[in-house]
Amino acid sequence: MTYHLPVLLVVVPLVAAPIAALLNRPRLSWAVAVAATLWALYAALELLSQTMAAGAIHYELGGWPAPYGIEYVVDPVNAWVVVIVALIGALVAPYARVSVEREITEDRIPLFYAAFILCLTGLLGIAVTGDVFNVFVFLEISSLSAYALIALGSDRRALTASFQYLIMGSVGATFIVIGIGLMYVMTGTLNMADLADRLPEVSGTRTIPVAFTFLTVGITLKLALFPLHLWLPNAYTYAPSAVTAFIASTATKVGVYLLLRFFFTIFGVTFSFDVMQLDRILMPLALIAIVTMSLVAIYQENVKRLLAYSSVAQIGYMVLGISFASVLGLTAGILHLFNHALMKGALFMSMGCVMYRVGSVRLERMNGLGRAMPWTMAAFVVGGLSLIGVPLTVGFISKWYLVQAALEQGMWPVAGVVLLGSLLALMYVWKVVEVAYFREADPELGISEAPLSLLVPTWVLVLGNLYFGINASDSVGIATRAAEVLLGAL
Amino acid sequence: MIDTNLVVGICLLLPVLGAFLVLILGSRPNVRETATLLTGGLTFWHVWGLLHHLREGARPRLELLEIVPGVQLAFEVEPLGLLFALVASFLWIVTTLYAIGYMRGHHEKNQTRFFFFFAIAIAGAMGVAFSANLFTLFAFYEILTLCTFPLVTHHQTDEARKAGRVYLGILLTTSVAFQLLAIIWTWQLADTVDFTEGGILAGTASNGVLSAILVLFVFGVGKAAVMPFHRWLPAAMVAPTPVSALLHAVAVVKAGVFTVLKVAVYVFGIDLLGTLAATTWLAWVAAATIILASLVAFQKDNLKARLAYSTISQLSYIVLGALLANEWGVIGGGMHIAMHAFGKITLFFAAGAVLVVAHEKDISRMHGLGRTMPITFGAFFVGSLSIIGLPPAGGSWSKWFLGMGTLEAGQVGLLAVLMLSSLLSLYYLLEVPVKAFFFRPPDDAHHGKGIKEAPLPSLIAIGITASATVGFFFWPDLWHELMTMVVSGVGQ
């Protein structure tokens, strides 16, 4: 079984999804979802430890050798992404039961879990596959299920949000498939390793830069890099709480992974950064994202929306790290994939707790929640401190490496913007803290603490924020390995 | 016999333990306060025990774990840190005693939360004092900022919320934007952030770059309240008086100037510091802060506000001491941490006592109160002498060394600043007891028959710190010995 692990990681959830739909009982479907996510987490951790110990794992689907069949390749880069996706999935699934019962009508709950497992399948598939067309297929699986999940939100605006995402997401996917098609025309292969071999011969043509451009736009749209982020705030705001927590911590991360895979492994650093000068696009956009989106976040009255804009800013940090194209910069970016998943997961889950008890996450409804829901709001505070980058939280570790990467290249102003972003984060986090702790609650509402099944997954992530902020040697070690793999693949 | 290195950990853990005892015992105030006093006593006892090891030349060290490759969460006891730890842990006991009288006398709410965060803040101060590298120091520096926020905003009023914003805003902004940048920059240049005798930065970069880092450090340590980043200190005065006394006269602000001294001695090294272009310039910024803050203090009628500005002024004495870049300056600066702490806490205790008993905040309404509260105002007088630097109070020693430092540095102008500032403080501090003892009470003042002295626990606390202030004039040896150890390690 160990040998088949790469494919079982994807196949087990893929089979579990229709089962969840067919069982058609909320509880049973939920149990299937939990089982599927736990399996994925086990497989992901196993793959990570294998690849860290013994290098890249190659798996031929159906026994067909690479150029003919589809190959799955697991190296430290995607094993890391798979672990992030599976971990968040395994925490959101148990969390979802209570939260979903409150926010989605009962007859749709089995479909919800089916879509949830499919989305997980798609995200895992994108990460493990070594075939670019397969990437597109899984991208569509994850996107379509995500559109459905978002549309299940209880607010009617969820429908328009989902539609908006559908249009933008389809445009992005189309751009990606055009880019893949152009590469296929020039090289005759869809396998990533073969592409990396053959592209240098034809990189002088006009077609390859065009393919590169299409892919850049398509992928940055998927990962919501400013200014292609417009689908994100509405989608995060109106989706069911569990969906927001899941998608915010995973979908954009997988987008960032695609960026890394295409531009470092397939096109290579020399072509992407020396010839196409990708950093000249990515770095300014990342910096603008960090500053403007944090500023926009400060003015939000809906906390989920506030966190959504904060996510766009945080994606700026990841892309910024990548745009340095150095080991230190990539380490920072890859590290922040994980760290940001921990903090945003915790923050969105705590907002799910608020949604469950209060029925809204608008600031004016959160008066005095610090007293009424102490554990929920404490989770928000710790997650927020991590977002700001206070020492002994994961956010600090990300900043530590990101600033170092900037200083290493003598870019003082960039280091300044990174730290400025922290201060803007302080402003939007504190806005919520003040409402929760300094205003009197309306005692007639009788709000009590969220149930344990919501609090426990939330606090697992909160403690993760602290643990990986105090003992970051493992996560930094993996991120550094991943960065070296990506840069070594010249 | 416990391993010496573990004692360091015990000093850090005891206050945390005390904090959780407070939470558990919250419903029974007497047991709760006994627990705080006991843990305070134990903490001080252990810190005191470390002194013996330092005298033998040992440097107890505790390495917890490696946070990221090359950077550890580690603690090491050296004389300067021990000085700060001794001051903070001793005054914690005294302040707890005082707070018992104050918080009950003033009928404050949420006392359990108050004593909980108070203990956590002490743990933060201990962490700052014993940190073995810049990273650990920064972590505890931020913990101290965050856990004092609930104390500053204790009343949870609109005013407290606004003050809390200023407090957190300035302290976090300066530390994240300047100090963190300086730390990472140091790490890049020196490949280490460990505090090392003689410094780690010498020869790593040009004079200009090192000057820039020094500027980032001095302004990045917002807790040292060098102008223009001083606004948080008066804002923090909305807190209950014990908070102002321990945190904004001792733990928090001293953590700031302690950081400046520590960076000057163990990151730059005083030899390197003396050669940097920015040092003199920054010394004059500190001098300007000394004078300007005194001038503002002059105009404050609210007693706590006046004390706040006096604190800003006095903190810059210590920053200045570090920036004189000679042994006299460092000794004087270090001793002033202790001397100012005991003096200023006495003043805050007295101000709080007046508030609890007579419900007066303004100096102009305290006329004549000295006759009904002679011990309180007597203590205020003694504390004032120490801050001004007059015998027979401890402050005269630290000011003496600082003055010698300015001469050693050849900066007669700075000596003049110190003199002028002492004259200013002579007026704005002594005005309070003089008016309280010799002026007639205002006609509408209702402090007639009902007014007695402060509650007994508070009075004992005031007595202890005031006597210590006088005692340090006759026996300043402990502080001087510790600071001599600091500079003798550096000189070689």
Closest CA to A235 of A299, A127, A149: A149
| Residues of chain B contacting A470 with CB distance shorter than 8 Å | 65, 67, 73
**Residues B133, B266 contacting (CB under 8 angstroms):** no
Q: pLDDT confidence of A349, banded at 50, 70, 90? A: very high
- pLDDT of A490 above 60: no
Nearest-by-Cβ selection for B185 from A400, A407, A476: A407
Determine the residue among B157, B183, B184, B219 to mutate to test chain A binding: the one whose Cβ has the most chain A Cβ atoms within 10 Å.
B184
Q: Which residues, at least 6 apart from B413, have a Cβ–Cβ distance to it below 8 Å?
A: B287
Are B177 and A423 within 8 A, CB to CB? yes
CB B269 within 8 A of CB B201: yes
**By the 8 A CB rule, do B131 and B137 touch?**
yes
Contacts of B165 in chain A (CB under 8 A): 430, 434
Taking every pair of Cα atoms in chain B, the longest distance, rounded to a whole number of angstroms, is: 69
B161 contacts in chain A (CB < 8 Å): 434, 438
Give the number of domains in chain B: 1
Chain A residues near any Cβ of chain B (below 8 Å): 385, 388-392, 397, 399-401, 403-404, 407-408, 415-416, 419-420, 422-423, 426, 430, 434, 437-438, 469-473, 476-477
Q: Tell me the sheet residues that pair with A362.
A: A302
Residues of B in contact with A438 (CB under 8 A): 153, 156, 158, 160-161
Across residues A171-181, what is the average pLDDT? 94
Helices (H), B131-240: 134-152, 158-174, 180-190, 207-220, 232-235
In the predicted model, what is the mean pLDDT of residues A428-439? Answer: 88
Higher model confidence: residue A147 or residue B99? A147
Contact B66 A388 (CB under 8 A): no
Nearest CB to B161; choose among A408, A438, A469: A438
* Distance from the B177 Cα atom to the nearest Cα atom in chain A, whole angstroms: 6
Do B151 and B247 touch, CB atoms closer than 8 A?
yes
Task: Tell which of A414, A438, A478 to mutate to test the B interface (max B CBs under 10 Å).
Answer: A438
Are residues B187 and A404, on separate chains, in Cβ contact within 8 Å? yes
Nearest C-alpha in A relative to B140? A391
Q: Which of B69, B143, B169 sits opposite A476 (nearest CB)?
A: B69
Burial of B192 (0-12, 13-18, 19+ CB in 10 A): middle
Q: B242 is in which domain, residue-wise?
A: 4-491
**Minimum Cα–Cα distance from A433: chain B residue:** B161
Across A10-14, A189-193, B25-29, least confident range: B25-29
Which residue from B66, B138, B184 is facing A473, i.e. has the nearest CB? B66
The DSSP-derived string for A192-252 is HHHHHHHHHHHTTSSHHHHHHHHHHHHHHHHTT-TTS-THHHHHHHHS-HHHHHHHHHHHH
Chain A hits for B172, CB-CB cut-off 8 Å, are 388, 423, 426
Helix (H, G, I), strand (E, B) or coil at A307: helix
- Minimal-distance CA residue of chain B relative to A412: B181
According to the model, what pLDDT value does residue B447 have? 55
| pLDDT tens for each residue of A253-302 | 999 999 999 999 888 888 888 888 888 889 999 999 999 999 999 999 99
Hey, are the CB atoms on B65 and A471 less than 8 Å from each other?
yes
What pLDDT does residue B1 have? 47
* Residue B71 burial (C-beta neighbours within 10 Å; 0-12, 13-18, 19+): buried
Whether residue B69 and residue A477 make contact (CB cut-off 8 A), yes or no, is: yes
The residue of chain B nearest to residue A480, with distances taken between CA atoms, is: B69
The fraction of chain A above a pLDDT of 70, given in percent, is: 99
**Chain B interface, mutation test: which of A473, A478, A484, most B Cβ atoms within 10 Å?**
A473
Structure-block tokens of residue B178: 């300047």
Looking at beta carbons, which residues of chain B come within 8 Å of A426?
168-169, 172-173, 176
Whole-angstrom distance, CA of residue B332 vs CA of residue B490: 15
Mean pLDDT of all residues in chain A?
Answer: 90
Cα A294 to chain center, whole Å? 18
Chain A: residue nearest B145 by CA? Answer: A390
Closest CA to B87 of B76, B95, B75, B98: B95
The percent helix, strand, coil of chain A (3-state, each to 5) is: 80, 5, 15
Asked if B69's CB is within 8 angstroms of A408's CB, the reply is no
Q: Do A422 and B176 touch (CB under 8 A)?
A: yes
Mean pLDDT across A326-348: 92
The average pLDDT across A216-235 equals 90
Residues of A in contact with B169 (CB under 8 A): 426
pLDDT < 70 stretches in chain B: 1-2, 443-451, 489-492
**A407–B188 CB contact, under 8 Å:** yes
Name the residue among A137, A37, A127 with its Cα closest to residue A79: A127
Q: State yes or no: pLDDT of A370 exceeds 60.
A: yes
Cβ within 8 Å, pair A426-B161? no
- For position B489, what pLDDT does the model report? 62
Output the pLDDT for position A41.
93
- Cβ of A391 within 8 Å of Cβ of B139? The answer is yes
Beta carbons of B73 and A415 less than 8 Å apart: no
pLDDT (0 to 100) of residue B490: 43
Of A93-102, A130-139, A140-149, B243-252, minimum mean pLDDT range: B243-252
Q: Which residue in chain A has the smallest CA separation from B74?
A: A470
| pLDDT on residue B491 | 39
Indicate the angle between helix axes B111-130 and B29-55, nearest 10 degrees: 10
Which residues on chain A are in Cβ contact (under 8 Å) with B72? Answer: none
Q: Which residues of A touch B158 (CB under 8 A)?
A: 438
CA distance A37 to A117: 8
**DSSP reduced 3-state for A362:** strand
For residue B139, which residues of chain A lie inside 8 Å, CB to CB?
A: 391-392
Report the predicted TM-score, pTM, of the whole model to 2 decimal places: 0.89
